[in-house]
Amino acid sequence: GRSGPEALAELGAVAAALGASVGATRIVTDAGWAPYERQIGTTGVVVDPDLYVAFGVSGAAQHTGGLGAPRHVVSVNTDASCPMTALADLGIVTDARALLTELARRLEAGDA
């Protein structure tokens, strides 16, 4: 549907405002919502960020295998017991799409 591209556009805006870059899982690149060079994982690229924020990422080994050794990991997921949240420093159990929209709103308002 249209929600994927819209979410990725919003993610890009939030990332730009924070000085971050956008990565994706294979689900996202296979859907065509992000280019393959943005896929993090064993069949994608390897990153090694200071902070990794996972919006609705389950944390499959093929994905986390591309994460390097991030200093901080935040996982936003409706499933508190998913592997991504299990390895995170901070787990936020909420709707990732709604949180992203709220982040975008606050960053645009300049009151972040």
Ligand X SMILES: Cc1cc2nc3c(=O)[nH]c(=O)nc-3n(C[C@H](O)[C@H](O)[C@H](O)COP(=O)(O)OP(=O)(O)OC[C@H]3O[C@@H](n4cnc5c(N)ncnc54)[C@H](O)[C@@H]3O)c2cc1C
Q: Which positions touch ligand X (CB under 6 A)?
A: 25-27, 39-44, 56-58, 60, 62-63, 66, 76-79, 82, 95-97
Q: How far is the CB of 4 from ligand X (least distance, A)?
A: 11
In whole angstroms, give the CA distance from residue 48 to residue 18. 17
Q: How far is the CB of 101 from ligand X (least distance, A)?
A: 11
* Residue 32 CB partners (closer than 8 Å, separation 6+): none
Question: Which residue lies nearer to ligand X by CB, 46 or 51?
Answer: 46
Question: Which residue lies nearer to ligand X by CB, 83 or 107?
Answer: 83
* Residue 31 CB partners (closer than 8 Å, separation 6+): 4
Q: How far is the CB of 53 from ligand X (least distance, A)?
A: 12
Give the residue from 76, 23, 16 showing the smallest Cα distance to 49: 23
